[in-house]
């Protein structure tokens, strides 16, 4: 397939729209055809932006960790990303995997989707490996626009083709495709050109440890690599919190880095609060939709729940009236979250970023370094015995 005509671009008024391999790239790489096969559906412009960014992310995650990987993309940034590590019992419950026998790939997808379920609503999925039945069974339950991966088992394909009344976007990617090392895009009729960001993120990038604490655990190294690879495909500025092989909070596209750190930290806190006894014991009415349940949990762990009680609408959500999850109780539960790692796509300009990260259980940090206040950032990390590495590499993505 040399080109794919699309219904429209980012918005319905942006026509015509297509994707194709231009002649210059074809001459450089020998790639005349697109690297994808549309098995089902009609993907749109934003779908394909998410698909291609997501595919690169999971491909690099697998290369760095030697584990199957998955990501959940929305509007050209990941809402979640993870590798295939078995789920704890509490994660199985909050990710709603109860009736599926989980494979490593299914675990990766459950983690990627479950990190920030509100943001993942209507996502585009990328998988590093051939989609199997278990992963397709999990995807079938969720509101999603499509999927890209190297292939599908017959059982998985049958399940996925039934989504969205048969219109679900199913794309097969040529995993051996190599793009032109020079990439272009146009803005305001002006062509921008740059070398692709082909920097390989591997364990050696963590060698410049700048804090008094010099020791990364094996899990911290894995999680820091996950954070950096995730950030490589997240709209900048961006910060990513990771625990147990999955992103648990991603702050994307903020002009201020401390706002990235706060946004990602709040998402990480919400992920942890979802595992609290108060949330796990919530008694929902029968037949409540998954999205309504997710929204209700988000309200319950937020500051709005007292208003819900006052308005008397809790009966439309819960069988029994839940007690208020007080601010003090939430703080005590959040304090139990430990061994979280955090990465930043560029330097932290002030120690306040470390202070905020510490509140969400961060014990390991990776960032580029290079701020005139690096000494303040390092001193703040030392105050909490946090181990931190400077990479010397910026990972902006736009």
Query: By C-alpha distance, which of 299, 242, 244 is closest to 268?
Result: 242
Q: Is 143 helix (H, G, I), strand (E, B) or coil?
A: coil
∠ CA 342-131-105, nearest 5°, is: 40
Residue with tokens 């010099």: 214
Nearest-angstrom CA–CA distance, 279 and 290: 15
Give the count of alpha carbons within 13 A of 39, CB side only.
Answer: 21
**Looking at 40, 47, 237, 337, which residue is catalytic?**
237
The verdict on whether 397 is a catalytic residue reads no
Nearest-angstrom CA–CA distance, 155 and 230: 30
Nearest-angstrom CA–CA distance, 279 and 272: 10
Beta bridge pairs of residue 70: 82, 127
**Looking at 62, 74, 133, 163, which residue is catalytic?**
74
∠ CA 90-327-223, nearest 5°, is: 45
State how far the alpha carbon of 346 is from the alpha carbons of 113, 195, 238, 363, in Å. 26, 19, 8, 19
The verdict on whether 163 is a catalytic residue reads no
Nearest-angstrom CA–CA distance, 387 and 145: 39
The verdict on whether 74 is a catalytic residue reads yes
Is the alpha carbon torsion for 204, 205, 208, 213 positive or negative?
A: negative
**Looking at 75, 93, 164, 359, which residue is catalytic?**
75
Q: Where are the beta strands (DSSP E) in 158-273?
A: 169-173, 182-187, 190-195, 238-243, 246-252
Task: Kindly give the interhelix angle for 352-359 and 374-383, rounded to the nearest 10 degrees.
Answer: 30
Nearest-angstrom CA–CA distance, 246 and 263: 17
The verdict on whether 66 is a catalytic residue reads no
Query: By C-alpha distance, which of 131, 169, 168, 141 is closest to 37?
Result: 169
Nearest-angstrom CA–CA distance, 363 and 384: 8
Nearest-angstrom CA–CA distance, 307 and 310: 5
Determine contact, residues 267/285, Cβ cutoff 8 Å: no
Catalytic positions are: 74-75, 237, 398
């Amino acid at each position: 397939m040399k080109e794919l005509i699309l219904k429209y671009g980012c918005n319905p008024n942006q026509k015509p729209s297509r994707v194709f391999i231009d002649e210059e790239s074809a001459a450089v790489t020998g790639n005349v055809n697109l690297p994808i096969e549309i098995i089902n559906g009609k993907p749109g412009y934003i779908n394909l932006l998410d698909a291609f960014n997501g595919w690169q992310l999971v491909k690099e995650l697998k290369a760095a960790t030697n584990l199957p990987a998955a990501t959940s993309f929305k509007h050209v940034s990941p809402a979640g990303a993870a590798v295939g590590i078995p789920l704890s019992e509490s994660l199985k419950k909050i990710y709603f995997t109860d009736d599926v026998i989980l494979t490593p790939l299914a675990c990766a997808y459950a983690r990627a989707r479950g990190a920030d379920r509100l943001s993942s609503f209507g996502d585009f999925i990328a998988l590093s490996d051939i989609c199997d039945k278990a992963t397709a069974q999990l995807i079938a339950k969720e509101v999603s626009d499509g999927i890209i991966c190297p292939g599908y088992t017959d059982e998985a394909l049958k399940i996925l083709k039934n989504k969205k009344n048969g219109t679900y976007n199913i794309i097969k990617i040529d995993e051996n495709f190599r793009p032109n090392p020079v990439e272009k895009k146009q803005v305001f009729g002006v062509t921008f050109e740059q070398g692709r960001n082909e920097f390989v993120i591997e364990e050696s990038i963590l060698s410049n440890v700048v804090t008094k604490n010099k020791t990364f655990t094996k899990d911290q190294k894995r999680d820091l690599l996950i954070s950096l690879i995730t950030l490589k495909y997240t709209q900048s500025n961006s910060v990513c919190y990771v625990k147990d092989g999955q992103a648990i909070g991603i702050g994307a596209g903020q002009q201020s880095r401390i706002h990235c750190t706060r946004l990602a930290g709040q998402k990480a806190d919400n992920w942890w609060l979802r595992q609290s006894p108060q949330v796990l014991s919530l008694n929902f009415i029968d037949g409540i939709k998954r999205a309504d349940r997710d929204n209700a949990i988000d309200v319950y762990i937020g500051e709005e729940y007292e208003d819900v009680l006052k308005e008397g609408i809790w009966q439309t959500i819960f069988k029994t009236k839940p007690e208020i999850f007080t601010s003090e109780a939430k703080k005590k539960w959040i304090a139990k979250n430990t061994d979280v790692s955090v990465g930043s796509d560029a330097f932290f300009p002030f120690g306040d970023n470390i202070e905020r990260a510490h509140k969400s259980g961060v014990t390991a940090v990776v960032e580029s370094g290079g701020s005139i206040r690096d000494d303040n950032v390092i001193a703040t990390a030392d105050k909490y015995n946090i181990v931190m590495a400077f990479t010397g590499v910026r990972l902006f993505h736009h």
